[in-house]
């Protein structure tokens, strides 16, 4: 399961700057944005042309059918420019990295907006500074530049199991790479190949986690640490995924 943190539901009028501690009517704006993205064909995986890591801890908010009166949060990994020049947030979600508008799970999880931690500021529009950064980067590098690597800033772990989840192996994700197909894949270190530390993006010991035959899921650090501590709730979630 993704790393989930319960957030109380919020509603209100759209605020100005983040420091104003204003909130936005998330449902209305979320539905507008999803409708716009449905028109641009985001149902299949979007083709990404450039990434901008999220360094300020902004979280994605989502809801599901089991808890309709609650909001849950995930740390945003990065913001992405798509090949139609639209911009969206990316999060590791179950087996792959997905755009906010594509987020879904077995309980009909759905994107609701974003949250700036430590404040009541909720929003649905992409932050202006990320829009400017991505536009400038694409102007400089062009749409055809693949191979970009960004560090993992949210403590993502890849989960591997070769025996149907009887045993699992948790490996920290070092970085993420933009592939020639416009997808984002996780890179993990092969401990037998490490020749220098720390392991940084671009190190030859890194390999694509999603191409490993025993790769299963992504977890953010909160749930990964609970699994390492053998927390009963986290282990129960693992058991559910194994079914």
pLDDT in tens, 216-230: 999 876 666 666 667
pLDDT for the residue 107: 59
Q: Which residue has the tokens 């037998």?
A: 192
Report, as an integer, the average pLDDT of 90-117: 85
pLDDT, greater one: 201 or 4:
201
Q: What's the pTM? A: 0.77
pLDDT, greater one: 101 or 76:
76
Give Cα separations from 107 to 24, 82, 114 (angstroms). Answer: 25, 27, 20
pLDDT for the residue 117: 87
Spatial contact of 53 and 150, defined as CB atoms under 8 Å apart:
yes
Rounded-to-10 torsion of CA 26, 29, 33, 36: 150
Q: What is the DSSP string of 187-211?
A: EEE-GGG--SSS--TT-TTEEEGGG
Domain ranges of the chain: 5-141, 149-242
Report, as an integer, the average pLDDT of 157-174: 89
Residues in the chain: 243
| pLDDT tens, residue by residue, 176-205 | 999 999 999 999 999 999 999 999 999 999
Task: Identify the DSSP state of 60.
Answer: E
pLDDT for the residue 232: 72
């Amino acid at each position: 399961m993704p790393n989930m943190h319960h957030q109380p539901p919020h509603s209100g009028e759209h605020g100005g700057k983040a420091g104003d501690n204003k909130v936005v009517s998330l449902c209305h704006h979320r539905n507008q944005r999803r409708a716009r993205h449905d028109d641009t064909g985001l149902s299949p995986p979007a083709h990404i042309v450039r990434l901008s890591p999220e360094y300020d801890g902004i979280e994605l908010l989502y809801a599901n059918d089991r808890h309709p009166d609650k909001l849950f949060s995930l740390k945003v990994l990065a913001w992405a420019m798509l090949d139609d020049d639209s911009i969206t947030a990316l999060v590791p979600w179950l087996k792959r990295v997905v755009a906010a508008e594509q987020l879904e799970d077995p309980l009909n999880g759905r994107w609701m907006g974003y949250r700036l931690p430590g404040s009541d500021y909720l929003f649905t529009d992409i932050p202006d500074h990320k829009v400017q950064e991505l536009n400038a980067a694409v102007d400089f590098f062009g749409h055809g530049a693949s191979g970009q690597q960004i560090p993992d800033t949210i403590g993502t772990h890849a989960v591997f199991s070769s025996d149907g989840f009887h045993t699992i192996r948790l490996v920290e994700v070092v970085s993420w790479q933009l592939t020639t197909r416009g997808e984002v894949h996780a890179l993990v270190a092969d401990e037998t190949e490490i020749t220098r530390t720390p392991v940084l993006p671009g190190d030859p010991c890194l390999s694509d986690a999603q191409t490993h035959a025993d790769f299963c899921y992504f977890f953010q650090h909160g749930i990964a640490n609970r699994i390492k501590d053998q927390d009963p709730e986290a282990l129960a979630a693992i058991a559910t995924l194994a079914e």
